[in-house]
Amino acid sequence: MNYDVVVVGGGPSGIQAALSARIAYPDRTIALVRREEIALQIGALSHVLGSLGSLGESIFPDRFLTQRDIELIVGQVEGCQDSQLRLHDGRKVSYHKLILALGGRPEPLAVPGSDLPGVIEFTRDYDCLKRLGEALVSVRSVMLVGGGRTGVEITAELTRSGKEVTLVESKAHLLSGLVDPEFGQVIEDELIRIGATVITGYGVRAFAGRQSVLGADLADGRWVTADLVILAPPFRPATQLAEAMGLRVDPANGVIVDEYLRTSAPGIHAVGECAAARSFFATERQRTTLMSEAMAQARLAGSNLFTINVAKSYSGSLGSFSVKAGELVLGVTGLTELKAASLGLQCMVGLAETTDRHPPGISGANKVMVKLLFDRCSHHLVGAQVVGGESTGECVNMLAVMVQKKMTDMEIDTLQLGTHPLLTPSPLGYGVIAATVDAVRNWTPTERGLLVRPIAAASAATATPRKGRSDSAARSK
């Protein structure tokens, strides 16, 4: 078998890369090789056990590819030589251009008892989810290990479906490394409000049980009972094939790629979880862990295969995502205050509190908290964290556009943004504008002279959850 373009990997980044290649190169032959018989929409899997209703809903329909003249080959790639992939059953697939979308695999968890029946690792494949779904039918108490995005969302879904759920995270806060502590705390509070138990700061020392798991000993000596344990560890890049092919690989972060997602070998690209791209803010390469990053990489790689469009280069991984827990949505883009500090970026913080409908007394209004970070030198927006209702999912995309376009505080303050009583904060207190004004007022020249809030005051926010200050535009009432 011989194709102009071959994509290895059936996850979202592989699919998107194949689709983008199809649009950019309508006359080329394209094949997608994946090892799974049944492919899942992996972005939705945390919700298979709840909102999504059934596992069937999450199955990726193969006709989505075949209708677009993308050949689907199911098989495990065992090696690659002279522009030819070798599959487990001896089939050979030749390519002119290759896109590796190899995905990731869970970080191993070295905890005694992990092999007990009833301890299931959330590996994102069909069999795992089927087993989980079956196991859940008969259990009452569930323990989630890992307070990242997956752990938080599964905890919320299972709690809502009536299980007794305990979420255990060894770091001091949920979503550690992804959000500033005060936002991790907001999510923790919401999980507790809907009925979950949350333990942070102590990991699992050992799982215990006989025929099946009965619970776990935590590092602080506590015992947590559980009929079922779900491990939700972070994923690491799956780079085995890339290493075997002799590509440059940073084992911790993935296959090394440039701004066109090209690897060290000509004609071979890598995208998504297996790829180590540069950060948007620093030159270091980093893991690709977010769908927003993987999709942009896949679109760009797919359309820069035989030709290069310089306007379509990857600007570096930004870190945009949203998480829903209970009634709350948390959206994040760019740097957190902690991450900015670790990079040596001096930032001004702007805060605002408002409601996502107005006037605040209207039914269905959720509280909104906005935290913006502006670079002190350039005044560019470099990061945003928002908590609110469901519109937060799109609100944070607006903020992601602002960061990617390097918008300054003044530019944001001059924006015309629409408001609507049933859909957004008040025109007098639109959260993003109000938080920008909060940042600006502390460093712009006033009639009294230049007034700049000391950095210490801003970074104090990382230590204690700060309340939104009484900014005159921050409240809509």
In angstroms, rounded to a whole number, what is the distance separating the alpha carbons of residues 348 and 468? 14
CB of 147 to a second copy, least distance (A): 18
Closer by beta carbon to a second copy, 166 or else 317:
317
Closest by Cα among 323, 388, 379 to 353: 388
Rg of the Cα trace of the chain? 24
Site for a second copy in 331-360 (CB under 8 A): 331, 333, 358-359
Closer by beta carbon to a second copy, 172 or else 457:
457
When binding is defined by CB under 8 A, the residue of 200, 263, 317, 355 that contacts a second copy is 317
Encoding tokens for residue 452? 């700049």
Closer by beta carbon to a second copy, 166 or else 304:
304
Helix count and strand count (H, E) for the chain: 12, 28
When binding is defined by CB under 8 A, the residue of 122, 183, 321, 374 that contacts a second copy is 321
Residue 392 interacting with a second copy (CB under 8 A): yes
CA distances from 162 to 137, 190, 193, 408 (A): 11, 16, 14, 46
> DSSP label at 447?
T
Closer by beta carbon to a second copy, 158 or else 329:
329
Closer by beta carbon to a second copy, 241 or else 298:
298
Residue 377 interacting with a second copy (CB under 8 A): no
When binding is defined by CB under 8 A, the residue of 150, 200, 286, 292 that contacts a second copy is 292
> DSSP label at 453?
-
In angstroms, rounded to a whole number, what is the distance separating the alpha carbons of residues 452 and 440? 9
Residue 441 interacting with a second copy (CB under 8 A): yes
Q: With the C-alpha atoms ordered 450, 451, 457, 461, is the resulting torsion angle positive or negative?
A: negative
Residue 15 interacting with a second copy (CB under 8 A): yes
Closer by beta carbon to a second copy, 243 or else 327:
327
Residue 208 interacting with a second copy (CB under 8 A): no
Residue 363 interacting with a second copy (CB under 8 A): yes
Residue 261 interacting with a second copy (CB under 8 A): no
Closer by beta carbon to a second copy, 113 or else 331:
331
3-state secondary structure of 279: strand
When binding is defined by CB under 8 A, the residue of 2, 61, 223, 327 that contacts a second copy is 61
* 84: Cβ contacts below 8 Å, ≥ 6 apart: 92, 93, 94, 95
Closest by Cα among 385, 386, 380 to 368: 386
In angstroms, rounded to a whole number, what is the distance separating the alpha carbons of residues 267 and 3? 13
Site for a second copy in 63-82 (CB under 8 A): 64, 68
Residue environment code for 170-199, b if the CB has 16+ CB neighbours within 10 A, otherwise e:
bbebbbbebbbbbbbbbbbebbeeeebbbb
Select from 163-171, 225-233, 336-344, 422-430 the region that touches a second copy (CB under 8 A). 422-430
Residue 279 interacting with a second copy (CB under 8 A): no
When binding is defined by CB under 8 A, the residue of 6, 8, 25, 216 that contacts a second copy is 25
Residue 314 interacting with a second copy (CB under 8 A): yes
The single-letter code of the amino acid at 110 is A
Residue 283 interacting with a second copy (CB under 8 A): no
What element of type H or E holds 77? Answer: strand 77-81
Closer by beta carbon to a second copy, 268 or else 300:
300
CB of 112 to a second copy, least distance (A): 35
Closer by beta carbon to a second copy, 262 or else 475:
475
In angstroms, rounded to a whole number, what is the distance separating the alpha carbons of residues 294 and 283? 18
CA 349 to chain centre: 23
Residue 222 interacting with a second copy (CB under 8 A): no
When binding is defined by CB under 8 A, the residue of 268, 329, 335, 387 that contacts a second copy is 329
Residue 423 interacting with a second copy (CB under 8 A): yes
Strands 204-209 and 213-218: antiparallel
Residue 140 interacting with a second copy (CB under 8 A): no
Residue 103 interacting with a second copy (CB under 8 A): no
Residue 41 interacting with a second copy (CB under 8 A): yes
Closer by beta carbon to a second copy, 156 or else 241:
156
Select from 166-174, 244-252, 337-345, 438-446 the region that touches a second copy (CB under 8 A). 438-446
* 419: Cβ contacts below 8 Å, ≥ 6 apart: 358, 425, 426, 427, 430
The length of the chain is: 477
In angstroms, rounded to a whole number, what is the distance separating the alpha carbons of residues 322 and 387? 9
Encoding tokens for residue 251? 């084992």
In angstroms, rounded to a whole number, what is the distance separating the alpha carbons of residues 412 and 402? 8
When binding is defined by CB under 8 A, the residue of 66, 421, 457, 467 that contacts a second copy is 421
Residue 258 interacting with a second copy (CB under 8 A): no
Residue 239 interacting with a second copy (CB under 8 A): no
